Structure formats: structure tokens, C-alpha cells
């Protein structure tokens, strides 16, 4: 339902594409997206490089498998310590969570870090009442250190809290912790700097350090809609907090969670008009040779990636410096969210619609759709069929047009 990606996933997806499409030679680097269209905040190439090497050509499939393996490993650890019933409850609740399933295969920096953090949790749980608790905790430190240095610096704060707790509980040796932390940190830093200095072609590039400096030290995270050092802490006021399972309530919550996840997946499928437009123009204009296609910012941010640039005889551009309608005259096609600005030189060929809002359906319409459940079922139009069963109506409006 949602094969395309948005701006948060763009760098890792484009990087994976470029590694597979062009290779990793110095000459090939000139064709990479971050050099052709500079300005992106540096992120590590370690994830895209590993993903490209092991998953040609199924990038997102392999990332999803990695996430599934990590969650399965965590469930095994839960089974050993908390029992089978708790592990089943964990599995069911995880499967009903929209965000876990939806983002599992998406190329966000968070999702490269996610499997490693989950494996860290697995080792942490396995260390409970284990004769090898020190070894398992040190393995957790290795995983989290790799993750913090290479993928997500914030994981280091989580690691610090866990390590301080374990040191206080005297389940960890201070000197072993220091030794493993330093060795893992230096090894991770060496890997990141070695790979990313080459791919970014700059002196000693450590992307996660750069991002942390950009966001937290310079305070520029507000440019992404975030405020640096803004934390929310939730602490239980109970002296002995306990997790209480009430079977009927949990069953109802699982059903509700699954239903909400279904609605959100279908709604989210309309969030990628840029990707849909790029795919559709190749179908409608399949007989057009030597096209010069310009993708505007909105198109690039809502799903259009290099994986969607299918024609080798076409040229694709993302130039953001154009200010006048005449600047676009060099292109044969535009994928744009502002077609009204190009009426003098182009005519609209087609329109792609995207999500605008949702509205509650009339109860009588909902009942009627469910009564006609089997009559309306059509495998060729499964998305429309599922939408008809929802209690809400998804309102879509024109998002991307392609004048040509």
C-alpha cells in the first residue's frame, strides 16, 4: 500500500540506490545524489553500504527482515525470563502497533539503529539472573555503542542510564565496562570515519557527531521542527509499580489497536503523491524519448526517489534555484505542486491526488457497506474495498500535476 518514501528516508534510500547503480569508485561518487544536489545534513553511509552489499536488489525487504529477526530474538529472551504467555502478549501487541510494522522496512536512520537497539534489549533481559550476566551486559554495551556512534547519537544517553543502573546494582564490572566502551567506541568511530570520509569526500567526516553538533550544540534542530534538549520524563508515582493484565481489556485494546493501524496504513498510502506521480509519468509518457523531467521540492519530499527514475534515456532534475517561469523552459515535463505558475509554457497532462483530511462517514453508509461486504469484494481493487469498510472517509485533493 505504501511503497514510496518521504524526506526523512530520502538520504539512506538515495545512497543505497547510488551504491548499487553507480558503484563506489571515485568517478562514480560524482554521480551520487548528495553531490549532484548538495545541501543535505551529512548522515553515515555505513547503513546504506551494508544494506546494498547484502540485499541487491531488495533493499527494503532485507531491512524489514533484519527488524523482524531482532524482534523475534527479543521475544525469545522474554520467553526465557518472563514466560511463554508474556512473550505471546508481547508478540501480539507488537504486531498490532502501526508504527512498528509501517516503519520496519523504511530507510530512516532510526530504523538502521532499531534492530541493534532491540538486540541490545535482548541481551539486557537475558542477563537477568544469568550466570553469564556480565558477558551479556557487555555485549549489550557493544551493540548500543556501535549504534550511538554510527547511527543515532541519542542511543548513548539510553546506554548511559542503563549502565549507571547496572553499576549501581553491582551486576557490571566498572573496569570491564570502561574497557569495552572505549574499544567499541573507537572501533565504531574508525568504521564511520573511514567509510564516510570517502563517500563525502571531506576530511575526517563523522556524520553522527556532525548531526549532534548541528542539532544540539548549534541549536539548529528547530529548523526541523524540534527544540534541542527538550525532554519529557514520565515517572511512576507508585512505590512498587506493577503491570497488570486484565484479559478482556487487553483483548479489546488489541482489536482497537489493530483497527486503528489498518486505518492509518490506508490513510498513509495517500501521503506519497510525489512517488505516485513519478511512477505514473513513466506509464503515460512511455513513448516519449529524451525527456527532461524536473521534480520540485514537494515532489521530492513525498516519495520521488532515484529508484523511481526508470528511464536511462530521460534526464531528471531537482534544481531549486529557478525563480522565473522562463527558467523551466529547458524541461519537457514538470512534476510540480504549483501548476498555475507554468500555464504560459506547459499544459497539464495529469493530476495525482494526495491526503488532505478525514471525515466521519454517515452511520447508514457504514452499515450499508458492511452489508454489501461480499458483493463489493474485488481483489483487483483491494485498496478501494478496504476504504469502503472504514468508519471514516479519506478526503484527497490535487497535490502533484505534471505539465508537459
Instruction: Specify the pairing of strand 333-335 against strand 292-295.
Output: parallel
The C-alpha atoms of residue 72 and residue 44 are separated, in whole angstroms, by 27
Do 189 and 297 lie in a common domain? no
Residue where a domain stops, chosen among 217, 243, 266? 266
Q: Is residue 1 part of a domain?
A: no
Do 169 and 25 lie in a common domain? yes
Q: Is residue 74 part of a domain?
A: yes
Do 193 and 311 lie in a common domain? no
Do 184 and 312 lie in a common domain? no
- pLDDT, residue 175, reads 93
Q: Are 61 and 105 in contact (CB under 8 A)?
A: yes
> DSSP letter string over 335-383?
EBS-GGGGTTT--EEEEEEEEEEEEEPPHHHHHHHHHTHHHH--GGGHH
Do 255 and 278 lie in a common domain? no
Residue where a domain stops, chosen among 238, 266, 294? 266
Q: Is residue 2 part of a domain?
A: no
- pLDDT, residue 93, reads 82
Do 299 and 390 lie in a common domain? yes
Do 257 and 362 lie in a common domain? no
Q: Measure the N-to-C terminal CA separation of the chain; round to a whole number of Å.
A: 28
Q: Is residue 130 part of a domain?
A: yes
Residue 222: give the domain boundaries: 7-266
Q: Is residue 249 part of a domain?
A: yes
Do 239 and 165 lie in a common domain? yes
Q: Is residue 102 part of a domain?
A: yes
Which grid cell is 355?
491526503
Q: Provide the number of structural domains found in the chain.
A: 2
- pLDDT, residue 141, reads 96
Q: Please identify which residue in the block is written with the cell numbers 452499515.
A: 367
Look at residue 230 and give its three-state secondary structure.
coil
- pLDDT, residue 72, reads 92
Cα 391 → chain centroid: 28
Q: Is residue 40 part of a domain?
A: yes
How does pLDDT run across 259-273, given as a tens digit for each residue?
777 788 788 888 888
Residue where a domain stops, chosen among 216, 240, 266? 266
**Exposed/middle/buried for 236, CB within 10 Å: 0-12, 13-18, 19+?**
exposed
| Residues 6 or more apart whose Cβ sits within 8 Å of residue 371 | none
Low-confidence ranges of the chain (pLDDT < 50): 226-246
- pLDDT, residue 402, reads 57
- pLDDT, residue 233, reads 40
Q: Is residue 333 part of a domain?
A: yes
- pLDDT, residue 238, reads 40
Amino acid at each position: 500500500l505504501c511503497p514510496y518514501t518521504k524526506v526523512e528516508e530520502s538520504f539512506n534510500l538515495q545512497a543505497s540506490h547510488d551504491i548499487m547503480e553507480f558503484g563506489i569508485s571515485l568517478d562514480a561518487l560524482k554521480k551520487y545524489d548528495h553531490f549532484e544536489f548538495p545541501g543535505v545534513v551529512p548522515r553515515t553511509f555505513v547503513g546504506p553500504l551494508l544494506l546494498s552489499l547484502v540485499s541487491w536488489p531488495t533493499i527494503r525487504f532485507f531491512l524489514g527482515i533484519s527488524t523482524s529477526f531482532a524482534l523475534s530474538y527479543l521475544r525469545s529472551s522474554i520467553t526465557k525470563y518472563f514466560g511463554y504467555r508474556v512473550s505471546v502478549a508481547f508478540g501480539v501487541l507488537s504486531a498490532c502497533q502501526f508504527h512498528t510494522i509501517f516503519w520496519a522496512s523504511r530507510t530512516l536512520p532510526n530504523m538502521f539503529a532499531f534492530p541493534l537497539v532491540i538486540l541490545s534489549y535482548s541481551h539486557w533481559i537475558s542477563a537477568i539472573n544469568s550466570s553469564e550476566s556480565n558477558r551479556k551486559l557487555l555485549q549489550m554495551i557493544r551493540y548500543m555503542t556501535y549504534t550511538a556512534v554510527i547511527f543515532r547519537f541519542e542511543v548513548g544517553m539510553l546506554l548511559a542510564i542503563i549502565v549507571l543502573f547496572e553499576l549501581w546494582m553491582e551486576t557490571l564490572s566498572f573496569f570491564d565496562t570502561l574497557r569495552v566502551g572505549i574499544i567499541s567506541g573507537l572501533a565504531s568511530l574508525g568504521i564511520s570515519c573511514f567509510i564516510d570520509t570517502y563517500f563525502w569526500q571531506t576530511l575526517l567526516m563523522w556524520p553522527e557527531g556532525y548531526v549532534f553538533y548541528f542539532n544540539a550544540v548549534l541549536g539548529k534542530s528547530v529548523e526541523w521542527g524540534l527544540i534541542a534538549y527538550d525532554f519529557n520524563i514520565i515517572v511512576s508515582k507508585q512505590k512498587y509499580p506493577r503491570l497488570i493484565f486484565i484479559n478482556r481489556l487487553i483483548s479489546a485494546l488489541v482489536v482497537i489497536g489493530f483497527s486503528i493501524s489498518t486505518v492509518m496504513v490506508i490513510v498513509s498510502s495517500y501521503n506519497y503523491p510525489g512517488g505516485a506521480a513519478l511512477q505514473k509519468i513513466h506509464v503515460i509518457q512511455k513513448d516519449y524519448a529524451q525527456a527532461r523531467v524536473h521534480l520540485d521540492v514537494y515532489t521530492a519530499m513525498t516519495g520521488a526517489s532515484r529508484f523511481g527514475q526508470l528511464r536511462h534515456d530521460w534526464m531528471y532534475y531537482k534544481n531549486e534555484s529557478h525563480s522565473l517561469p522562463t527558467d523551466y523552459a529547458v524541461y519537457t515535463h514538470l512534476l510540480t505542486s504549483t501548476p498555475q505558475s507554468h500555464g504560459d509554457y506547459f499544459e497539464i497532462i495529469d493530476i495525482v491526488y494526495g491526503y488532505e483530511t478525514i471525515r466521519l462517514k454517515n452511520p447508514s453508509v457504514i452499515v450499508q457497506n458492511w452489508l454489501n461486504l461480499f458483493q463489493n469484494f474485488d481483489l483487483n481493487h483491494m485498496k478501494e474495498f478496504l476504504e469502503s469498510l472504514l468508519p471514516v472517509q479519506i478526503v484527497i485533493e490535487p497535490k502533484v500535476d505534471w505539465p508537459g
